[in-house]
């Protein structure tokens, strides 16, 4: 059963005594397209998902994104770049093997950036969702359709939570074409 999250809400990735071991953060969006007299006949929008790994002190230690599809240890894998958002469902995904993450990784922050520079006013139906890869069950969903002039958003984070992991919806807006542009804005969310 999926949980619809609002900003700041969390969901545990531990059920009873068992923690999920493999999860997928999936991202979807559609470009705003209006016909003839309705204005905006937008071009494709290249949104990019990234996963940034942090240690307990809040230091950036690794990442997975369209220019580096795997974390250095291979526990986080970006499945590929979608440059249009066309079609239904997930457009980009990042798979995380929680049980293979180095012990130094305390948090993984997920971001979305408009690489082509269009604002969130030019996309619709944007979402991120966390899926348990072993059962293909959606655990949580977070609506990213906050329209506006921003070109990036810090979507969510997965962090160590006592004996397991938890996902927290962040929803902080920002600007930038890649995750590097968001690093200063991510720091307060850690």
Delimit the domains of the chain by residue range: 3-32+42-189
Question: What pLDDT is attached to residue 105?
Answer: 97
Tell me the average pLDDT across 78-105: 82
Percent of the chain with pLDDT over 90: 53
Say how far apart CA 167 and CA 130 lie, in whole Å.
8
Close Cβ partners of 36 (under 8 Å, ≥ 6 residues apart): none
Residue 85 confidence (pLDDT) above 60: no
Tokens coding 91: 């457009």
Taking the C-alpha atoms of residue 163 and residue 21, their distance in angstroms, rounded to an integer, is 12
Tens of pLDDT, residue by residue over 5-27, are 888 999 888 876 677 899 999 98
Nearest to 49 by CA among 112, 98, 133: 112
Task: Name the CATH topology of 3-32+42-189.
Answer: Lipoxygenase-1 (2.60.60)
Q: Which of 135, 21, 138 is nearest to 75 (CA)?
A: 21
Query: What's the angle, vertex CA 129, arms to CA 123 and CA 133, rounded to 5?
Result: 140
Q: Kindly indicate the confidence band of residue 82, based on its pLDDT and cuts at 50, 70 and 90.
A: low
* Spatial distance between the Cα atoms of 131 and 110, rounded to a whole number of angstroms: 14
């Amino acid at each position: 059963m999926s949980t619809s999250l609002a900003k700041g809400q969390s969901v545990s990735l531990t059920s009873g005594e068992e923690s999920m071991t493999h999860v997928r953060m999936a991202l979807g969006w559609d470009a705003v397209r209006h016909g003839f007299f309705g204005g905006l006949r937008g071009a494709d929008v290249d949104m990019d998902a990234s996963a940034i790994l942090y240690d307990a002190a809040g230091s950036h230690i690794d990442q997975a994104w369209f220019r580096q599809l795997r974390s250095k240890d291979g526990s986080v894998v970006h499945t590929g770049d979608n440059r249009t958002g066309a079609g239904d469902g997930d457009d980009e995904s990042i798979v995380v093997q929680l049980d293979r993450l180095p012990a130094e990784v305390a948090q993984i922050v997920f971001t979305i950036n408009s690489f082509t520079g269009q604002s969130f006013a030019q996309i619709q139906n944007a979402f991120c969702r966390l899926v348990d890869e072993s059962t293909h069950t959606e655990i949580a969903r977070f609506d990213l359709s906050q329209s506006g002039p921003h070109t990036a958003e810090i979507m969510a984070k997965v962090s160590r939570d006592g004996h397991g992991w938890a996902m927290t919806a962040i929803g902080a807006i920002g600007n930038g074409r890649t995750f590097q542009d968001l690093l200063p804005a991510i720091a307060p969310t850690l």
